[in-house]
Chains A and B, each alone.
Chain A
Amino acid sequence: MITIIPALEIMKAVTDNNIISDGGENRRKAFTKATELITLGDVTVLIEGQIFEKVGKRLNDDHKKFCHNTYRIDCSTVGVKDYEGNIVKSLNWVASSESKASNVIILTENTQNYVGVVSSVLKAITPTDFLERVNRAKHLHRSNRFKDLDDALTTVFFIS
């Protein structure tokens, strides 16, 4: 199982009214690709609770309903002293906890923020790198190098 956790800058790019920004297009594409993987393999997308609260300022009730129906919202650090207001620290904690149950990909432009938790089962990856690796995994699956897309994704993200 793979859990994909988008960082704040990814969620900002998805919900920003000003979409003309460097890298924004790849952030939005990576988020859509992560969502698509839910339908193709054993993949979930987890939105950290404080990030969802922040982005929630831009969302109406239908947007929020869609997110609650589609993604896992993890509110572990919401309201917790020393974590409240510190999104990077919260994301580190949630990703580290999640990695005890699943392989984890943090989708972020700022991979240096997560070096302390990166391991064989937890990777911090940029949107550009994520899109390239997903395409590679799909190609390996289509060319029958892997019977399951899940195996191809696991190899491309966590083994190779």
Chain B
Amino acid sequence: MTLKNARLGRAENLSQDLRDSFKLPSEGLIIIESLNPDLRENIISITEEGGIREYLLKLGEFKDASLD
């Protein structure tokens, strides 16, 4: 499955049912993904420890490229 779109959101703005179904905390940063090929929606909580890096790694490993 590949990412078609991603939106930032807040867990506290979702209904309790939706939070329960995606196992989200009661508040905090979330990413709402639209996934190919069937336009499935997935919602992920971004933790303070892992942050955006952890989310990016979920999308795949970083290539080993030197940036100097």
List chain A positions with a Cβ less than 8 A from chain B. Answer: 8, 12, 14-17, 19, 28-29, 31-32, 35-36, 38-40, 54-55, 57-63, 65-66, 69-70
Closest to A12 in B: B67
State which of B29, B55, B56 has its C-beta within 8 Å of the C-beta of A15: B56
A residues in contact with B46, CB < 8 Å: 32, 35-36
**Bound complex: CA of A73 vs CA of B48, how far in Å?**
24
A39 to B29, Cβ gap below 8 A?
yes
Interface SS of chain A: helix
Knowing A15-B56, A62-B2 touch, does A57 contact B67 (C-beta < 8 A)? yes
A14 to B63, Cβ gap below 8 A?
no
**Bound complex: CA of A36 vs CA of B6, how far in Å?**
14
Asked if B23 is at the interface of the complex by the 8 Å CB criterion, the answer is no
